[in-house]
């Protein structure tokens, strides 16, 4: 079975009903750490790709904006 399933084995009407099994063996695709990142999130958090893994990006100060620092660098909050 694939990495996706629907509640009660029936079809889904909304994307929010989709259950994703992130702990399955994805073989060459290597999906890891999603549950840990999602479990630590609160309202306003975002996910950013770090050097090797997904990282949690907390909201910046009020009035700030997320700025890229170019390829190979993490984004930062700035005014």
Torsion sign (Cα): 15, 44, 50, 69: positive
pLDDT, tens digit, 9 for 90 and up, residues 45-65 = 988 888 877 788 889 999 999
Residue 1 pLDDT: 46
Phi, then psi, of 27 in degrees rounded to 5: 55, -125
For residue 68, give the 3-state DSSP assignment: coil
Question: Can you say how many angstroms the Cα of residue 61 is from the centroid of all Cα atoms in its chain?
Answer: 21
pLDDT, tens digit, 9 for 90 and up, residues 2-54 = 555 555 656 677 777 777 766 666 666 656 667 777 787 889 898 888 887 77
More confident of the two residues 69 and 7: 69
pTM for this model (two decimals): 0.49
In contact, 6 and 18? CB cutoff 8 Å = yes
């Amino acid at each position: 079975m694939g990495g996706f399933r629907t509640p009660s084995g029936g079809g889904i009407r909304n994307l929010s009903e989709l259950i994703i099994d992130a702990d399955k063996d994805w073989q060459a695709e290597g999906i890891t750490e999603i549950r840990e990142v999602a479990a630590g999130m609160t309202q306003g958090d975002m996910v950013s790709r770090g050097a090797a893994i997904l990282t949690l990006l907390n909201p910046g100060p009020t009035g700030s904006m997320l700025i890229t620092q170019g390829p190979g660098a993490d984004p930062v909050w700035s005014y």
